[in-house]
């Protein structure tokens, strides 16, 4: 039997980083992303974000590829947002995303970081956060 436990911290933004995820719809969208992932067999631990981006912490199985998981999560959620007209116009995510592996010892800290995104962005912009993540991860 193979044992695989690979944690991924993923970050992606709205198209053109438009601040269209308003406070009244954010939680609905993040809950949908979380539940849809679980329904598709993706172990989604947490999903949160701010007005222009999303952070997720999830675990992949040995038969899942990151690019496929991201396509399912992002593609289905943008379709769902448009189907329910949550934004009031056509919605899309940026094509790009950032994924970072997370060691088991860091899962609790990353979970807290993901869950506290809205408070975090009262002190720091998404651009500052994203640029710092890229620098710290050596991109």
Quick check: is 114 in a domain?
A: no
Tell me what the mean pLDDT of segment 106-128 comes to: 84
Kindly state the percentage of the chain with pLDDT values over 90.
Answer: 76
Angle of CA points 27, 41, 53, to nearest 5°: 30
Quick check: is 69 in a domain?
A: yes
Tally of domains within the chain: 1
Does the structure show a pLDDT above 90 at 134?
A: no
Quick check: is 20 in a domain?
A: yes
Does the structure show a pLDDT above 70 at 62?
A: yes
Quick check: is 41 in a domain?
A: yes
The CATH code of the domain that includes 96 is 3.30.70.1290
Quick check: is 34 in a domain?
A: yes
Tell me what the mean pLDDT of segment 42-60 comes to: 95
Quick check: is 23 in a domain?
A: yes
Q: Read off the pTM.
A: 0.89
User: Across the chain, how many H-helices and E-strands are there?
Assistant: 5, 4
What is the pLDDT at residue 3? Answer: 85
Provide the domain limits for residue 23. Answer: 6-109
What is the pLDDT at residue 121? Answer: 64
Quick check: is 54 in a domain?
A: yes
**Residue for token pair 């695989």:** 4
Report residue 2's pLDDT band, with 50, 70 and 90 as the boundaries.
confident
Quick check: is 124 in a domain?
A: no
């Amino acid at each position: 039997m193979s044992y695989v436990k690979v944690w991924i911290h993923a970050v992606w933004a709205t198209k053109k980083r438009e601040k269209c995820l308003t406070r009244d719809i954010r939680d609905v969208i993040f809950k949908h992303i979380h539940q849809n992932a679980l329904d598709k067999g993706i172990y989604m631990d947490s999903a949160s974000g701010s007005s222009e981006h999303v952070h997720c912490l999830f675990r992949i199985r040995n038969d899942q590829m990151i690019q496929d998981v991201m396509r399912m999560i992002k593609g289905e959620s943008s379709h769902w947002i448009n189907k329910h007209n949550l934004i009031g116009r056509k919605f899309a995510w940026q094509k790009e995303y950032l994924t970072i592996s997370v060691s088991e010892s860091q899962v609790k800290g990353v979970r807290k970081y993901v869950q506290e995104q809205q408070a975090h962005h009262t002190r720091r912009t998404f651009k500052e956060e994203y640029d710092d993540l890229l620098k710290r991860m050596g991109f």
